[in-house]
Structure 1
Amino acid sequence: MSASVETVPSFPFSALPSGLPLLLAPAGDWDCAKAAVENGADAIYFGLERFNARMRARNFTEADLPELMAWLHQRGVRGYVTFNTLVFPSELTEAEGYIRSIVAAGVDAAIVQDIGMVRLIRHLSPDFPVHASTQMTITSGIGAEFAEQLDCERVVLARECSLKEIGKIQAHLAEKGSRLSLEVFVHGALCVAYSGQCLTSESLGGRSANRGECAQACRMPYDLVVDGIRRDLGEKRYLLSPQDLAGLEVLPELVKLGIHCLKIEGRLKSPEYVANVTRVYRQALDAVAAGQPQRISRQDRYELEMSFSRGLYTGWLRGINNQELVHARFSKKRGVYLGQVLGIQQDQVVIRLEAPLKAGDGVVFDQGQPDLPEQGGRVYRIQQKQGRAFLSFGPGDIDLNRIHVGDYLWKTSDPELEKRLRHSFIGEQPRHQRPVCIEVHGQVGSPLTVILRDEQGHVVQVESPMPLVAAHHQPLTTEKLKEQLGRLGSTPFKLGSLHNFLTGEVMLPVSALNQMRREAVEQLQALRAQPLRWQLNLEAHWQQLVPPPQLGETGSPQWSVLVRDAKQLQAVLGYAREIPDSAIRQVYCEFEDPRRYREVIAQAKSQYPQVEIWVAPPRITKPGETWILKQVLAAEADGYLLRNYDHLEFFKGQRCIGDFSLNVANPITAHYLKTRYNLERLTASYDLNHEQLGSLLEMGPAHWYEVTIHQHMPMFHMEHCVFCAFLSEGTDYTNCGRPCEKHEVKLRDRANVEHILKADAGCRNTLYNGKAQTGAEYINKLLNLGLRYLRIEFLQESPAQIRQILWSYQQLLAGKLSGSQLWRELKLHSQLGVTRGSLEG
């Protein structure tokens, strides 16, 4: 039997032939990968040992990549590696080797956060696909263009984008003739803070979310302190913990918008979770393709809630509804709601069931205090009487004395469902099959030719070992060919279509047909398993992307000071005028209302011409929010502190400095941003400790950088408005009554620290650490490395506190006060509670 193989270039894929988005599932290990594949995922994403935002999860290793990618491609599934953390200067050599391994293994794409790493990937390989991670905080068409200019082929949009905003981003890209595709999260846990902009774990525990070490502080209880008084919210204590995202009901709209890929979140989730959620969304997408009305069945919702649920909601996809997003009652998995306890009778709990329950299921009793130990266990027996259920538990499993009438009951475990889900992916035989098209050609005297084509464009051809003969009875009909060639049950394939191009009535032994089918399938599987061959430049290295050596700037250090209201501005400018050697050369204004900038800045310039007044726009820009940037530009400031990719484009041609939110953590990122956008300097990422800052400065030029020495760390930056959610009955800024303008609000954590909440011009909230932090002890080291620009940020400090802090730092630079003395002195006298924070090694 002869065989020939033809390959049609098939990677990177375009959209599926059906026009449906790709379904992308999480996979931390082999079981999760199998669970995703066998339940219909078109692609999986996974991290390796380093540089991924799921460092506490199970991960594959670089050594796993060849086998994993071959298996995935045999099954018609793509594999994306998450390379979605910031990379520090000392890690660049390791990162380069890591990238080379990924490219050489034939991975389909890398999902990347760090701008410098996108640059490095493209430097090493001109054709390896890169996807801009949601950690890049892309919320607009301009932001998507920024990623495209980096040569990304796909953008994972911020989860805070609504369907309407996604549509505007698509329209913007279409107008520009862009080929960039969009990916959207459709299910799973929601981060309350913008991904890539959360500094909470870094601020509170020294573990950076931008380094894959999120401590999930958003899932902790907080007290709401309004104007200095704790507000009683009843059972609502988890003020920053959103419900989980469930986008099933908006799938038709996402398909209509032309979204290329739908992503399931799955941090630290089980294979059963992956199997279940993937299966439900696969079936729903197939229903959309078939034109069936989109309905979420009770069974689908039940199974999604059983897999993992803090409550299911469409998140921000349908727009902002602060009353619905965060119910605030709990932040852990609850499962399916069963009802409230009606009574305790002898050794039984009485309840009117609102969902199915059977013996062996696990339950938990919810008394509104989920941070305390709760009663729960497996149901031993259920008796139904007069519409009520009487639940019995094993001896000692439940302390009935701690169960009360009115307690909520949740179903947390369904062993029968878990067994069924596990059965969906265990074993070696493929369960999810992908269609192949078969063509059959031949005539009397020639061999029978069978051609197989898969969805990706791979083609194989086999010929029979003997010629076809005339059929006197039982010719090879289309039905008979389908019957024999379509027997693909133990393979990754199923018969999609068969085209019969035979001439005349011919015949061939069934055994030969079966052998041809097996040969074609083996050839097709081998072809699909071949690693993708991306280009890899062996002469390229990361050192070629860093700034060339330059002479450092000479002269004394200069201070920039950030203020948040007009009184603070006056206090800083007054200090600078009274003490000419204060080294204050710039003041940044970050006011909630940008309409105040013009008047305040004009007045300040007339009084204090020796100090430059700059303006900081809000950190996020959504479609339709250019009016805010226009108001900022109208202030006629001396310059602008840029926070996002829209700012880089909008303020082009003005004097500009890049702020910390651009996440400059290595010299490759710095070189790209500074030279491409002609920035005067860049603020170093807050993820860098003093040693990493030192490495960044040593790679130089040190005068490119500004380092924030004193600040209240901006921990959470959120679309979620706490003011609206808990101080009004409104859903968003249109009907909330603007409580942010009337009240001072803080969130008190379990350590009794009160963190300060502020709203910005876009009605987004920032929660600032209640304790200011200082890097005073490291200033001399950084200055010796060439640093010349230092920043102090104020939040709620009074004019007297501002003067004291500025004077202390002036004394520090003059050598009259040590860093440790400054830290102790401010803590003792100003009651600022200063900590060393992220600048600690």
Structure 2
Amino acid sequence: MKKPELLAPAGSMNMLRAAIDAGADAVYLGLDQYNARMHAENFTLETLREALDYAHLRNSKVYITLNTLIDDDEMMDAVELALAAYMKGVDAFLVQDKGLASYLAEHLPQIPLHASTQMNVFSLSHSEEMKKLGMKRVVLPRELSMDEIRARAELFHDNDIEFEVFVHGAMCVCYSGLCLFSAMNKSGSRSGNRGSCAQPCRQSYQLWEGNREVAASGKPIRSGKLLSPKDQSALPYLRELMDLGVDSLKIEGRMRDEQYVTAVVSAYRKMIDAIYENKDSKEVLEQVRNDLLITFNRGGSFTTQYLQGRKGPDYLSGEYVGKYGLYWGDIISVSAKAGTISVRSFLPDPPQKGDFLSIRDKEEEIASFPLGKIDVERDMSVVKGLHPDAIAKLSRGMSVYRMSKKIEIPREKLRRTPICGTLRQDGDMIVLDVMVKEGAFAGVKASSSAEIQDLGDSEPLTWERTKEQLQKTGQTPFVFSDLKKDGDFPIALRISNINAMRRDAMAFLAEKILERQTLGRSEKYASGSEEPISSEKPEKMHVVIAEYIDMRRITSGYACGADIYVFPALQIGQAGRINYINELLNSEPQAKIALRLPGAYKDDMIDAVSKAGKLASTHAGERFLGFFGTNASEGTVGLTSGANIYNHFTYMYEEAKALDFLYLSYELTQDQIRKLAMDISGEELHAYMCLHRYGPIEWMQSEFCPLGRHQAHCTVCRDHPETSIGEKTSEKNDHHDDRVDVVCYPGFCRADLFGNARNTVSAETVSEILRMGVPAASVVRFMNEDQDERRMIVDALLDDDTDDEGE
């Protein structure tokens, strides 16, 4: 069994110290630009120096998160930022943007890269692409099961790529990198892909009958925290993860504080070490789990929903989305006069003075207070700390929750770098040689010496006394794991000489390590590939693509005058749908079709996707183009907006794959789109730049279904084929702009949320892009329109484009 890296969040310098002291093998942190937690305290290039020194002296690594989408105007700044941080000694960079990744891999291949979970490396076919991008490690999506992780572990290791798994912290209800909810909601200024997620999934919502275009009326189907998952804890799966060779176990939480980091890192350090030494037990697991629950959880427990490979109804946090605490016991009596509360609890670890308690009646908090005094006798505890007036409001049967537990790491348990040492004599000097034993700085050496003293009538020091003194490294980042004496010689030194020699050796070793941080690092740019992309422009420079979002809502024919029609792969096989497609193919002999893949999908859906492709090919023959997906794989002819093409570097990276259609990110403004087109206009381009002209877009693509809530054998989506979600604010319920459509996929227990696009492309912009020589596709997306409406929309769009071209 390999001992994996324990990777901890560091949103500030205090958090970094806390994480490393508690036992983190590595930390990940963001600078003040281009990181997915822009509202954390973060670091600058100046403060990064202190972080690197603290970590490296304690044998921990530092990873920088450059895990947002990068605008064309920002790209070279991001590259220079990465290079500057690398030259300071950063160990690796987590990246989301494939344009940034491909540029760094080609021009600065010396910079180690990790594929962020925001890159959405979901498919089994992605290992080869990650190798070409120069990835040293891939952070796996949180939605994968243990079986799926096992399959990817072998693939990535075969390609000499490490893999990292999230083991603790907040879960996103949407696939990472595919959530536009925050970017499109309300002001639209808080993009998750740009590091400013406002966490709208934690708000209260109402689920309504009918689509978002119809005013809500009557009672909602359901209300509450409909999109807020519990936090994940992979404690029950740690041994299994370690058995299959996981390289890194990641803790989420850069927006938390140092107490949270200390508690969570120390808990996982304890479990990892216990498993590695085969000393884990149910008792240890229970103690660690309870400590984690006290530190932070949502809803009273953790979820392992995806790791276990089975969906269930325990995924959501419920209405209590903040810190929930650990259920400690029930009140059995109160005495306002005595100022006491008697609690019955069967937990082995009672709270201590200063810990906070929360008293609740069902889910409503009645009181919260720091514990003043506690007397424990068997299963009953008598506590003080609450004012008599507050005690008078309490009653028997109310629940008591423990909300805090101070975790302090004893000095001898603080993380330090293991070193070995040798004491030897060299002429009239006694020399202490020290060397780092393991980690990135293994083999770094330093020496110090002291001149042999005339002790007069005093005896030389014994080796035992000398060794004891040399091992007093508590104020340094080092600890001796091995210390020996080389040869039989008298140690004719005083204790003050030993102390000075030890201090000098530790100081010299620290200097050597800090020098090694940047040793051999180069800021030289590689020339990159000079091979031009070989491609031919398509026959038509402009085409119209009509996408059908939810085939269940279409009750009339599909034909509307488009060149290409795109249908959801997960719905094409439903009863009667293929008949509509046959009618379309017969009525429009020049039309072609394609299938839209889910933004991400699990391995057990591969067969369903394959069958959908075969069905489309059987009925459409050569007029079936292939699949549109978020990543290029076998059968893919186009990339959807989930590919996050946000700059021309990413565009050209994907263009080189000989794809036919490239959707731009829905987050780009028209000005950004025009600039992107200008930047690529001199290239030989084959793919159509797909531009959003009309219709709703995916605000959220998820493995979760808000209708069925992962209930077993659920039929809710069949009973409610058209539903929408809006904020639980009564004055907004009649405004459809504030609601989004829920599109479910019966049998797959997953759903996407569709809302209005913030950015649509005008006919003028399309014409301008065409004049630049860039092939373009105008994309219209239909949800609730009838066939006449669809024809009118396409006709109007074509008229606008023709008029503008004439100008």
TM over 0.5: yes
8 Å contact from structure 1 (residues 476, 508) kept in 2 = yes
Aligned equivalents of 1:398 and 1:559: distance in 2?
70
Q: Deviations over 1:183-223 (max 9, x none)?
A: 11111111111110111101213121100111111111223
Counting only pairs closer than 5 Å after superposition, residues 667-706 of structure 1 correspond to structure 2 as 667-675=648-656, 677-701=657-681, 704-706=688-690
The reply to whether residue 458 of structure 1 matches residue 431 of structure 2 is no
2:594 is matched with 614
Of 459, 475, 487, 2:472 maps to 487
2:17 is matched with 34
Of 712, 717, 720, 1:740 maps to 717
Aligned equivalents of 1:408 and 1:103: distance in 2?
52
8 Å contact from structure 1 (residues 740, 759) kept in 2 = yes
In the TM superposition, residue 232 of structure 1 has moved relative to its aligned partner by 6.1
The reply to whether residue 325 of structure 1 matches residue 309 of structure 2 is no
Of 261, 264, 286, 2:273 maps to 286
In the TM superposition, residue 328 of structure 1 has moved relative to its aligned partner by 2.2
Of 168, 172, 196, 2:177 maps to 196
Aligned equivalents of 1:589 and 1:102: distance in 2?
45
Aligned equivalents of 1:503 and 1:344: distance in 2?
72
3-state SS, counterpart of residue 483 of structure 2: strand
Aligned equivalents of 2:226 and 2:333: distance in 1?
31
Aligned equivalents of 1:113 and 1:399: distance in 2?
55
Aligned equivalents of 1:338 and 1:483: distance in 2?
45
Of 675, 694, 699, 1:710 maps to 694
Of 107, 117, 123, 2:106 maps to 123
In the TM superposition, residue 43 of structure 1 has moved relative to its aligned partner by 0.8
Aligned equivalents of 1:719 and 1:650: distance in 2?
23
Aligned equivalents of 1:504 and 1:777: distance in 2?
84
Aligned equivalents of 2:543 and 2:391: distance in 1?
65
8 Å contact from structure 1 (residues 617, 642) kept in 2 = yes
In the TM superposition, residue 59 of structure 1 has moved relative to its aligned partner by 0.8
3-state SS, counterpart of residue 649 of structure 1: coil
Aligned equivalents of 1:169 and 1:262: distance in 2?
15
In the TM superposition, residue 224 of structure 1 has moved relative to its aligned partner by 3.3
In the TM superposition, residue 529 of structure 1 has moved relative to its aligned partner by 1.5
1:797 is matched with 785
Aligned equivalents of 2:358 and 2:744: distance in 1?
37
Normalising by structure 2, we get a TM-score of 0.83
Aligned equivalents of 2:534 and 2:146: distance in 1?
47
The reply to whether residue 277 of structure 1 matches residue 264 of structure 2 is yes
Counting only pairs closer than 5 Å after superposition, residues 123-522 of structure 1 correspond to structure 2 as 123-174=106-157, 177-205=158-186, 206=188, 207-225=190-208, 230=219, 237-295=224-282, 296=284, 298-310=286-298, 311-339=301-329, 352-354=343-345, 356=350, 361-364=355-358, 375-378=366-369, 393-394=386-387, 400=393, 409-412=400-403, 414=404, 417-418=405-406, 420-421=407-408, 431-440=414-423, 448=431, 450-456=433-439, 457-462=442-447, 464=449, 479=464, 482-500=467-485, 502-504=486-488, 506-509=490-493, 511=495, 512-522=497-507
Instruction: Give the AA of the match of 2:670.
Output: H
CA spacing shift, 1:365–1:240, aligned 2, 3 Å: farther
Instruction: Give the AA of the match of 1:806.
Output: V
Aligned equivalents of 1:458 and 1:480: distance in 2?
27
In the TM superposition, residue 346 of structure 1 has moved relative to its aligned partner by 6.7
3-state SS, counterpart of residue 393 of structure 1: coil
3-state SS, counterpart of residue 313 of structure 2: helix
8 Å contact from structure 1 (residues 547, 700) kept in 2 = no
Q: Deviations over 1:20-41 (max 9, x none)?
A: 1111111111111111111111
2:585 is matched with 605
In the TM superposition, residue 316 of structure 1 has moved relative to its aligned partner by 1.9
Normalising by structure 1, we get a TM-score of 0.80
Aligned equivalents of 2:351 and 2:290: distance in 1?
11
CA spacing shift, 1:464–1:777, aligned 2, 3 Å: closer
Q: Deviations over 1:783-810 (max 9, x none)?
A: 3233631101122433344344334434
1:112 is matched with 95
The reply to whether residue 638 of structure 1 matches residue 619 of structure 2 is no
CA spacing shift, 1:140–1:592, aligned 2, 3 Å: closer
The reply to whether residue 779 of structure 1 matches residue 769 of structure 2 is no
Gaps of at least 5 residues in structure 1 are 1-17, 577-583, 731-735, 817-841
In the TM superposition, residue 378 of structure 1 has moved relative to its aligned partner by 1.9
Q: Deviations over 1:757-801 (max 9, x none)?
A: 2234882533323x5347557332343233631101122433344
Q: Deviations over 1:59-79 (max 9, x none)?
A: 111221223212221121111
The reply to whether residue 100 of structure 1 matches residue 80 of structure 2 is no
8 Å contact from structure 1 (residues 547, 667) kept in 2 = no
2:620 is matched with none
**Higher deviation after alignment, 72-81 or 689-698:** 689-698
8 Å contact from structure 2 (residues 25, 61) kept in 1 = yes
Aligned equivalents of 2:489 and 2:418: distance in 1?
28
Instruction: Give the AA of the match of 1:772.
Output: N
CA spacing shift, 1:230–1:811, aligned 2, 3 Å: farther
2:213 is matched with none
Aligned equivalents of 1:264 and 1:313: distance in 2?
15
Aligned equivalents of 1:129 and 1:120: distance in 2?
13
In the TM superposition, residue 657 of structure 1 has moved relative to its aligned partner by 1.5
CA spacing shift, 1:351–1:694, aligned 2, 3 Å: farther
Q: Deviations over 1:661-707 (max 9, x none)?
A: 111101111111111x2012310011212222222122123974111
CA spacing shift, 1:463–1:28, aligned 2, 3 Å: closer
Aligned equivalents of 2:739 and 2:749: distance in 1?
19
8 Å contact from structure 2 (residues 429, 450) kept in 1 = no
- Superposed CA RMSD: 4.0
Of 47, 54, 62, 1:64 maps to 47
In the TM superposition, residue 252 of structure 1 has moved relative to its aligned partner by 1.3
1:831 is matched with none
Aligned equivalents of 1:404 and 1:224: distance in 2?
36
CA spacing shift, 1:567–1:307, aligned 2, 3 Å: closer
Instruction: Give the AA of the match of 2:652.
Output: H
Aligned equivalents of 2:273 and 2:525: distance in 1?
46
Aligned equivalents of 1:496 and 1:575: distance in 2?
75
Instruction: Give the AA of the match of 1:202.
Output: A
Instruction: Give the AA of the match of 2:369.
Output: R
CA spacing shift, 1:478–1:95, aligned 2, 3 Å: same
Aligned equivalents of 2:646 and 2:532: distance in 1?
14
Instruction: Give the AA of the match of 1:189.
Output: A
In the TM superposition, residue 363 of structure 1 has moved relative to its aligned partner by 4.4
Aligned equivalents of 2:533 and 2:655: distance in 1?
13
The reply to whether residue 758 of structure 1 matches residue 738 of structure 2 is no
The reply to whether residue 532 of structure 1 matches residue 523 of structure 2 is no
CA spacing shift, 1:538–1:467, aligned 2, 3 Å: same
In the TM superposition, residue 741 of structure 1 has moved relative to its aligned partner by 3.7
Of 576, 581, 587, 2:565 maps to 587
Aligned equivalents of 2:697 and 2:555: distance in 1?
23
Instruction: Give the AA of the match of 2:133.
Output: L
Instruction: Give the AA of the match of 2:700.
Output: F
In the TM superposition, residue 439 of structure 1 has moved relative to its aligned partner by 3.8
Q: Deviations over 1:301-347 (max 9, x none)?
A: 34322322113233422223331222423212222224567798879
8 Å contact from structure 2 (residues 342, 380) kept in 1 = no
**How many pairs does the alignment contain?**
759
3-state SS, counterpart of residue 495 of structure 1: strand
Aligned equivalents of 1:343 and 1:446: distance in 2?
74
